[in-house]
Structure 1
Amino acid sequence: MLQLKDQLHNFLRCSIGDGNTALFWYDYWTELGPLYLLFGTTGPRSLRIPLRATVSQSVSNGHWNLPPARSDFAETLQIILSTMPVPRSDNNDDVYLWRNHSGGFGPSFSSRVTWERLRVVNHVVPWHSVVWFKEEIPRCSFISWTAFLGRLPTRDRLLSWGLSVPPGCALCSSADESISHLFFICPVAVATWNCFCGRYLASRPSSLNDVVLLCQQLTGTHSARARVVLKLLNQVIIYILWRERNNRIFMGIASTQETIFRKVDRAMRDRLLSLSRPSASSHSPSLLELYLWFLSPYS
């Protein structure tokens, strides 16, 4: 908790008005920072100011009311206070100021600016646009994101944690289960992807990296919209296969290959039907029409 408070002090300052809101010991209202960090637990006794006191409680008859300095810290504080206006009851309220984009402080809070300053900035991963895009299905994009991070609890990962689980793929039992196998190499995954090989997808991807490359390589008329369909298709297939895997392990229920295809197809159609169509003047096909082209063979 103390560490969290210390982080907050890097983003929050208090401009003193009447002194009735700002806390003498805890708020960052002088250039010394929160005074409790400077004086420690003996501060309230040495300065004769209660621990929960407001800044106005350190003022008497229009002047700062502190005892004679008995330490270097107390002397420094009194010097700083001598340069500051004394809180008055007829002043405006105290104002809390937040760190802004320029590094200074202002009265408005921005969650974006605060987040950008708090977070550890890493390099942008090449697959971010394949996972996060406005047409996504949130439950599918979450599983896809976890797969790209390598965090799905597949059996190879569970074994690496020392858990006693069978290593075989729950869909085919012909190889050890991993992310690449489960979603791209397993015969069930291969058959599912092959159902969507056609005009836009000449051959199925063999890994998550292949999906990223295919999205980058889609060119020609309507390529941007076809890219949306491919990204959505990748997420839906991963999601449906992951659910099928869990159903077989935990519920003992197995779907046929035809049923798996129909689940993917239904999810794709439902999502694409919910998206707005292009304007009539653009003569562009809808995302659903592009999806149907994915299903059609080369002419």
Structure 2
Amino acid sequence: MLRLKQDLQLFLRCNVGDGNTASFWFDYWTDLGPLILMFGSSGPRSLRIPLNATVSGAVTNGNWNLPPARLERERESSQEAVTLQIVLSTLQVPSAASGGDVYLWRNHSGGFGPSFSSRVTWERIRNPSPPVSWNSVVWFKEEIPRCSFITWTAYLGRLPTRDRLISWGLSVPSGCVLCSAADESISHLFFQCSFAAATWSRFCGRFMASPPATLAAIADHCLSLQGPHAPRAKAVMKLLNQVIVYSLWRERNVRIFRGVTLTQEAFFRGVDRAMRDRLLSLSHSRSSAQVAAPSLLELYFWFLSPFS
């Protein structure tokens, strides 16, 4: 609990009204911060205020009721007690006329306000890293969450491919289960493998001249796509990237753990079905300005190779 209070003091303050809610020892209600951090475990004994007391518990007959500072000089917390007496002399004594206690949260400007924002709090807690170029390729409005997660993990290089498992000291076969022609790695599994390359080649239509070679190449291609329908075509390409990566990873796992294998054609039909289902679900949300433009599903057909 003490650790939690130490963390909260960075984000939470208390304006004391009647003092019936604010904790005397744990809340940040004076400029000294939580008093338990200042006085330590001996504080409740030296000030004669229980650990669970509210601020109003330190008031009697409209005045602060703490042991005189001169008596505290003979004790361990004498200097802290003197400082507290000085601070309290500048504060209004809690009373019913002042209303209830009010808790204030850190806001975006660095001050404190009555409303809590999880976004502001998160931005102040986290240690931000520089944005990555592929961020918008992984997280976008039309995404499929399960596919986004696997693609995100792939871009981070953290999927447990066999080369990584071996580097961790695990005794596993090194070969790719999709083609058996080379060792499994992220770059091989998703692009160099003949099974993966054949899948990508089925989508080398109007927007993709040749199968991509890396995840970075896909990101660059998505971001550089030009043309009158580029914004919507980018959404389709990003979705296609995710669905293929997810499907290849799933096929790899099904072969290893279930011993079930799809043919190249059945695998393509699975990717195609997933794309059509997702894009059909998005077709109902088109704005009036987009009605005349090709739908996402129509743009998807432009990705299909004429030789598919």
TM-score by length of 2: 0.94
Deviation, 1:27, is: 0.3
Partner of 2:299: 290
Q: 1:90 to 1:189 in 2, by over 3 A?
A: same
Partner of 1:41: 41
Query: Amino acid of the residue matched to residue 262 of structure 2?
Result: S
Residue 214 (structure 2) aligned to one of 199, 207, 222:
207
C-alpha root-mean-square deviation of aligned residues, in Å? Answer: 1.3
Q: Quick one: distance in 2 between partners of 1:54 and 1:4?
A: 18
Partner of 2:189: 182
8 Å Cα contact 1:155-1:165 kept in structure 2: yes
Partner of 1:102: 109
1:27-63 deviation digits (Å, cap 9, x = unpaired): 0000000011110010000000000000000000000
* Identity level (%): 70
8 Å Cα contact 1:278-1:286 kept in structure 2: no
1:53-106 deviation digits (Å, cap 9, x = unpaired): 000000000000000222100100000000000001232110000011111111
8 Å Cα contact 2:201-2:305 kept in structure 1: no
Q: Would you identify which runs of 4 or more consecutive aligned residues in structure 1 move more than 6 Å?
A: none
**2:135 aligned with 1:128, yes or no?**
yes
Q: Quick one: distance in 1 between partners of 2:221 and 2:243?
A: 16
Bigger mean CA offset, 137-146 vs 112-121? 112-121
**2:93 aligned with 1:86, yes or no?**
yes
- 5 Å-filtered alignment, 1:52-67, equals 52-67=52-67
Partner of 2:118: 111
Partner of 2:79: 72
Unpaired runs of 5+ residues, structure 2, are 73-77
Residue 268 (structure 1) aligned to one of 263, 275, 287:
275
8 Å Cα contact 1:277-1:287 kept in structure 2: no
Q: Secondary structure at 1:90's aligned position in 2?
A: helix
**2:25 aligned with 1:16, yes or no?**
no
Q: Quick one: distance in 2 between partners of 1:252 and 1:74?
A: 73
Q: 1:19 to 1:169 in 2, by over 3 A?
A: same
Q: Quick one: distance in 2 between partners of 1:222 and 1:267?
A: 22
Q: Secondary structure at 1:7's aligned position in 2?
A: helix
**2:225 aligned with 1:218, yes or no?**
yes
Deviation, 1:284, is: 0.7
8 Å Cα contact 2:23-2:55 kept in structure 1: yes
Q: Quick one: distance in 1 between partners of 2:288 and 2:105?
A: 44
Query: Amino acid of the residue matched to residue 284 of structure 1?
Result: A
**2:187 aligned with 1:145, yes or no?**
no
Query: Amino acid of the residue matched to residue 16 of structure 1?
Result: V
Q: Quick one: distance in 2 between partners of 1:296 and 1:174?
A: 26
Q: Quick one: distance in 1 between partners of 2:108 and 2:86?
A: 31
8 Å Cα contact 2:5-2:27 kept in structure 1: no
Q: Secondary structure at 1:121's aligned position in 2?
A: coil
Q: 1:34 to 1:280 in 2, by over 3 A?
A: closer
8 Å Cα contact 2:147-2:246 kept in structure 1: yes
Query: Amino acid of the residue matched to residue 299 of structure 2?
Result: L
Q: Quick one: distance in 2 between partners of 1:281 and 1:144?
A: 29
- Number of residue pairs the alignment of both structures matches: 298
